[in-house]
Structure 1
Amino acid sequence: MDIQGIPPITKIWAASALAVSLAEYVRLVDTYQLFYTPRLVGPPHWQFWRPLTSFLWFGKFGVDLVFHLFFFMRYSRMLEETNYINRKADYLCLLAFSASILLVLGPAFNLPYLASPLAFVLVYIWSRRNRHVRLSLFGILVVSAPYLPWSLVACSWLINYDSRLIIGDLLGIFVGHIFYFWDDVWPREHKSHGSSLMRAPAWLVRLLDDR
């Protein structure tokens, strides 16, 4: 993989996730310090880093982490290099919007770690924007892009039998659909006047994209 060619937001997220897993591996931090719960973020604990670290924990350092990072980076990179090329501000807003919804809904479903659900947001959005693409799933099954998220959920259930993982994946699909509707479907409606509700504010565009 061409490390230098990885777009900036994807690179920063992946490097941060790898750093967190390495820190846990050498026992600089514990997984208890990384998960998100509103109870510990506010007073009297003020553990304000938890909303961020919950999106950086893909798992313990090892083969499983490599698989999850590769999976996340593949679709994040494709989105950032196609739909969001020269639009870092808009891509950052996609991540911020999705992360905010997941932080609100995650505790209701007992989801302490939100990196995988956020990755599923990206998979869903990519799959809807590339509906004519056909992919080989694990070298066994060929599916059209719109069926990719659902196929991955089914495979995850068959492999892990962990309902919490499935709920996280489905929540990511749900949040991805919300964003897709407001950014892709709504602008085609007459009442929208062709404008998306998911564009970055002008100050952020000037800061990140110089346009």
Structure 2
Amino acid sequence: MFLFFNQSYCRMLEESFFRDRTADFVMMFLFGGGLMVFFGLFVNLLFLGQAFTLMLVYVWSRRNPFVRMNFFGVLNFQAPYLPWVLMCCSMILGNTIWVDVVGMGVGHIYYFLEDVFPLQANGYRILKTPHFLKVLFNEHIDNNNPPWVGDRPGGFQWGADEGENLGAQAPNVGAGDGNDANLRR
């Protein structure tokens, strides 16, 4: 079940929030994996695959707060509650909750450092992707901001081209007035 969660939420994160930002996606993996190994030493965990999956689920669920979820056709809830539902299922099955706590904790730390703190009044991005990762994945180096920071709702910049408004009349290109400026538009 966790392999399915890992594949599907990893794909959804990559297709939506990390589109054209592969180096940032790998940076999330490296940050999460390193922090999980560090916390795993204190709670004596040897296998952290389930914690890594829960980290991905946590980040996806916090970035999609209005998505309605249905768990086995029995329970309906909003996406931010999905990690908690998975932790309850893990407890019902008799597993230790430390794996889930480590995964959710690391996911929350990543979410806070990447999505909450930079938007505060004196906030800035703490987790910056190293230059060598951007070169390795052939990304544009000048694109440091996540795509959702500063975007208009919906992500489209309708009517924002050079001061033109939607519904404005197009220039009369075929008039034959000899003005090449109209032809270049």
Output the TM-score relative to the length of structure 1: 0.64
Mapping of residues 1-211 of structure 1, within 5 Å = 67-158=1-92, 160-163=93-96, 166-192=97-123, 195-211=124-140
Q: Deviations over 1:16-54 (max 9, x none)?
A: xxxxxxxxxxxxxxxxxxxxxxxxxxxxxxxxxxxxxxx
How many residues are treated as equivalent by the alignment? 140
Output the TM-score relative to the length of structure 2: 0.72
Residue type at the aligned position of 1:161: G
Q: Deviations over 1:60-86 (max 9, x none)?
A: xxxxxxx22111111111001110011
Percent of paired sites with the same residue: 39
What runs of 5+ residues in structure 1 fail to find an aligned partner?
Answer: 1-66
Q: Deviations over 1:107-127 (max 9, x none)?
A: 211210011101111111111
Supply the RMSD in Å over aligned alpha carbons.
1.1
Residue type at the aligned position of 1:79: L
Structure 2 Cα separation of the partners of residues 210 and 134 of structure 1: 34
SS of the aligned residue for 2:122 comes to helix
Structure 2 Cα separation of the partners of residues 68 and 180 of structure 1: 21
Runs of 4+ in 1 over 2 A off after TM superposition: none
What runs of 5+ residues in structure 2 fail to find an aligned partner?
Answer: 141-185
Mean Cα deviation higher: 200-209 or 92-101: 200-209
CA contact (8 A) 2:23 2:139 kept: no
Mean Cα deviation higher: 91-100 or 200-209: 200-209
CA contact (8 A) 1:119 1:172 kept: yes
Structure 2 Cα separation of the partners of residues 149 and 179 of structure 1: 15
Structure 2 Cα separation of the partners of residues 210 and 151 of structure 1: 37
More helix by share: 1
Higher radius of gyration, 1 or 2: 2
